[in-house]
Amino acid sequence: MKTLFLYSIILTDKNLGMYAILLGVHSATRYFVVVSLVIAILMATYGYTQKKAFSESYNSIRHWTATIAHIQLIVGMLLYFKSPIALHFMKNTGEALKSVECLFFGLYHAVAMFVAIVLITIGSALTKRKKVDREKFKTMLVWFTIALIILFLAIPWPFSPFANRPYFRPF
């Protein structure tokens, strides 16, 4: 409980402008990642079930979904190494493991999101290399769906029992 009180003091410090901006950008960008993944999954499902040709528009959706995810990863990594919670986790791991919120942001969120983005990257690369259109759709559908499930589990939604944050964070 004491550490959570310290976090609230640190997070309200006006000198953490870059951290606050990164936090706002990271929070807002999550919706671009989720929406692009959902669109890619829906398009892959449609293309697979309707036996469509994997046109340039489908390829563009695949490409931009991976690109948006990579941008979110970069912002997330910058944020992680500026975060008072993550820094506390790295310096005081034993104590931090006792706090569900600290464990969530210090370990679970970072690892799960990294894994999800690796899955998006692999799925995108494998899709690009497939020769048959139906296999392209299937590959994109499977890899992106698994990544989306992991993302949903690791996002600190307002209803999350691990660490909850608002739907929209002001800058």
Tell me the pLDDT tens digit for each residue of 89-102: 889 888 888 888 88
Mean pLDDT computed over 93-119: 91
**What is the pTM (predicted TM-score) of this model?**
0.84
Between CA 16 and CA 18 the distance in angstroms is 6
pLDDT in tens, 72-94: 999 999 999 888 888 888 898 88
Is residue 74 exposed (0-12), middle (13-18) or buried (19+ Cβ within 10 Å)? exposed
80 compared with 116, residue with greater pLDDT: 116
Residue 156's φ and ψ, nearest 5 degrees, are -80, 75
The first and second tokens of residue 39, run together, are: 């669109």
CA-CA distance, 165 to 171, in Å (whole number)? 14
Question: What is the spatial distance between Cα 29 and Cα 133, in angstroms, rounded to a whole number?
Answer: 30
